[in-house]
């Protein structure tokens, strides 16, 4: 029985909804639902029955249900949208922490947003721009283009992807405005409101925001030090009958875990009987790895969408992403993209194509990888004695905070001292169990010197938690 049906049964038997109580029925109903939400029995994104249906089930007036929902909405516990009904809201604390650009406040070292660690791209762009006008494709910059992308851009993308051992052909590549846009196109093409999406219980913020905006139920799957747990995945599939599974297999955001070959095989074994389940393989950090395991798409090509981009390895400002889709789904993704923006910017596509064709992209990524390795060494040196997860070429690290720290209090104190971090609650799909950790984006510091300055602040406070036990959040 689902958590909501269990709650409904309790309400029907008068154990929670007492008609002879001095407290009004709508207040009792609101109180019972609020307790279920705060305890985690009802998860963020879970849809509630229509007011009339719930009133009929409980044998009460529809006005009573409407007033109860109004109370919950005022408390920020549920949200109602036209055509999508009422669903459990994501906690406000998580919503306000979703940032798309670093802070430029004076004196702030903002390590809360991932970005490349070097400025090589702007130098390469300055060299390339004067030469673009002589490129034969430049004449088409003023034209409309196919929604799936220009043929020459798709050919360059497929070449670049195959170098990463991704099974890509120009015909099954769709060019998007970054990975987030690609994921959004896939979800809109392959799901309807009310469908369930599975993801790691601690996961990339963007998938949470997307699912909420589309009326999808996002359910977290527990993991361990090697990534998503296969047994937990099997149980979640059996319980929720999901439409989509979302995975970040390389340098996971935020935990920095890369799935090893054995764990990938174990997850594929769980997925094998479930042809109805689509997999979104969000692999934006793969270009940074020197040793790469096989992609899920290679082993499950008919039911997998592979997504990557140039944002993390070259530059987010370029706004170029790639979706490698099963051949029969390419036009579905392209159609969704056409509704968004008709097609991507041809100028951005030409810049990306030239970087790939001229092999400048290889040099940019190699230098980025070298810089990240140096920054990870600084992290290990300055956070020695603390527990953290990191990749030797990763853009970020996941710091597990010692007692008695809470992640929100630690992040607040660091920000007050000029260092921006994101607390674990920003990535958690379970508001009742926020991880006691923070994400540190090493690549966001403008220099190694600035990174060392920030790491010293982080290390000092992490080791002095006992001095801040009674700080108010």
Model confidence pLDDT, tens digit, residues 133-142: 999 999 999 9
End-to-end CA distance of the chain: 38
Tell me the C-alpha distance between 419 and 411, whole Å: 8
CATH of 133-358, one of 3.40.50.300, 3.40.1640.10, 3.40.640.10, 3.40.50.700: 3.40.640.10
- pLDDT tens by residue, 397-409: 999 999 888 898 8
Return the ∠ at Cα 301 (arms to 391 and 346), rounded to 5°.
75
Backbone angles phi, psi at 404, to 5 degrees: -100, 25
Q: What global pTM score does this model have?
A: 0.80
Would you say 86 and 78 are in contact if contact means Cβ atoms under 8 Å apart? yes
Tell me the C-alpha distance between 290 and 185, whole Å: 29
Tell me the C-alpha distance between 17 and 30, whole Å: 10
CATH topology of domain 3-89: Arc Repressor Mutant, subunit A (1.10.10)
pLDDT for 466 equals 52
Tokens of 62: 């529809």
- pLDDT tens by residue, 36-48: 887 777 878 788 8
Coil, strand or helix: which one is 430? coil
By C-alpha distance, which of 417, 406, 373, 415 is closest to 391?
373
pLDDT at 270 over 50: yes
Coil, strand or helix: which one is 320? coil
Q: How is residue 210 annotated by DSSP?
A: H
Would you say 87 and 77 are in contact if contact means Cβ atoms under 8 Å apart? no
Q: Are strands 321-324 and 173-176 parallel, antiparallel or unpaired?
A: antiparallel
Query: Any residues with CB less than 8 A from the CB of 266 and at least 6 apart, and which?
Result: 230
Tell me the C-alpha distance between 191 and 56, whole Å: 29
pLDDT for 36 equals 83
Would you say 255 and 398 are in contact if contact means Cβ atoms under 8 Å apart? yes
Tell me the C-alpha distance between 331 and 459, whole Å: 50
- Averaged pLDDT, 58-84: 82
- pLDDT tens by residue, 198-231: 999 999 999 999 999 999 999 999 999 999 999 9
Q: How is residue 70 annotated by DSSP?
A: H
Would you say 219 and 236 are in contact if contact means Cβ atoms under 8 Å apart? yes
Q: Give me the helix-helix angle, 179-190 and 330-341, nearest 10°.
A: 110
Would you say 397 and 406 are in contact if contact means Cβ atoms under 8 Å apart? no
By C-alpha distance, which of 39, 46, 106 is closest to 79?
46
How many helical (H) and strand (E) elements, i.e. helices and strands, does the chain have?
17, 18
pLDDT for 95 equals 43
Tell me the C-alpha distance between 439 and 458, whole Å: 11
pLDDT for 208 equals 92
CATH topology of domain 94-115+363-468: 3.90.1150
Among positive and negative, which fits the CA dihedral 311, 315, 316, 318?
negative
- Averaged pLDDT, 51-68: 88
Tell me the C-alpha distance between 60 and 55, whole Å: 5
Would you say 305 and 278 are in contact if contact means Cβ atoms under 8 Å apart? yes
Q: Are strands 196-200 and 244-247 parallel, antiparallel or unpaired?
A: parallel
* Rg of the Cα atoms in the chain: 24
Tell me the C-alpha distance between 322 and 156, whole Å: 11
The two domains 94-115+363-468 and 133-358 share their CATH topology (first three levels equal): no
pLDDT for 433 equals 67
Tokens of 132: 């673009």
Tell me the C-alpha distance between 183 and 308, whole Å: 10
Q: Give me the helix-helix angle, 346-357 and 120-132, nearest 10°.
A: 110
Of the listed ranges 78-87, 121-130, 295-304, 418-427, the one predicted with least confidence: 78-87
Domain boundaries, the chain: 3-89, 94-115+363-468, 133-358
Of the listed ranges 113-117, 169-173, 277-281, 295-299, the one predicted with least confidence: 113-117
């Amino acid at each position: 029985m689902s958590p909501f049906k269990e709650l409904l049964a309790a309400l029907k038997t008068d154990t929670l909804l007492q008609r002879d109580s001095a407290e009004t029925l709508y207040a009792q109903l609101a109180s019972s639902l609020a307790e279920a939400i705060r305890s985690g029995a009802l998860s963020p994104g879970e849809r509630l029955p229509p007011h009339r249906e719930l009133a009929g089930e409980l044998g009460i007036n529809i006005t009573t249900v409407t007033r109860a929902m109004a109370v919950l909405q005022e408390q920020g516990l549920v949200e109602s949208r036209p055509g999508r009904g009422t669903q459990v809201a994501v906690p406000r604390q998580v919503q306000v922490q979703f940032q798309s650009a670093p802070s430029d406040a004076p004196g702030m070292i903002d390590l809360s947003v991932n970005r490349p660690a070097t400025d090589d791209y702007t130098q390469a762009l300055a060299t390339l721009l004067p030469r673009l006008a002589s490129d034969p494709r430049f004449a088409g910059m003023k034209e409309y283009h196919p929604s799936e992308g220009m043929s020459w851009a798709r050919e360059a993308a497929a070449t670049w992807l195959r170098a990463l051992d991704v099974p890509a052909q120009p015909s099954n590549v769709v060019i998007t405005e970054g990975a987030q846009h690609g994921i959004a196109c896939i979800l809109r093409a392959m799901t309807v409101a009310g469908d369930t999406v599975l993801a790691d219980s601690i996961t990339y913020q963007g998938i949470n925001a997307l699912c909420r905006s589309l009326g999808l139920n996002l359910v977290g799957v527990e993991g361990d030090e090697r990534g998503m747990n296969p047994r937990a995945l099997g149980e979640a599939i059996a319980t929720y009958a999901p439409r989509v599974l979302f995975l970040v297999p390389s340098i996971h955001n935020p935990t920095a875990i890369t799935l090893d070959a054995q764990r990938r095989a174990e997850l594929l074994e769980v997925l094998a009987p479930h042809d109805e389940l689509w997999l979104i393989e969000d692999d934006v950090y793969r270009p940074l790895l020197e040793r790469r395991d096989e992609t899920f798409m290679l082993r499950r090509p008919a039911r997998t969408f592979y997504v990557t981009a140039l944002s993390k390895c070259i530059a987010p400002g370029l706004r170029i992403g790639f979706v490698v889709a099963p051949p029969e789904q390419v036009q579905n993704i392209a159609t969704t993209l056409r509704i968004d923006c008709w097609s991507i910017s041809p100028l951005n596509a030409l810049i990306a194509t030239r970087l790939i064709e001229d092999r400048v992209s290889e040099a940019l990524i190699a230098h980025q990888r070298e810089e990240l390795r140096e920054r990870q060494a600084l992290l290990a040196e300055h956070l020695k004695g603390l527990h953290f997860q990191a990749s030797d070429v990763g853009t970020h690290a996941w710091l597990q905070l010692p007692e008695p720290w809470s992640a929100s209090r630690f992040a607040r104190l660091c920000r007050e001292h000029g260092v921006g971090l994101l607390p674990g609650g920003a990535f958690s799909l379970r508001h009742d169990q926020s991880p006691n950790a923070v994400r540190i984006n090493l690549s966001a510091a403008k220099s190694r010197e600035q990174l060392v300055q920030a790491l010293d602040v982080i290390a000092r406070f992490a080791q002095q938690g006992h001095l801040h036990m009674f700080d108010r959040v």
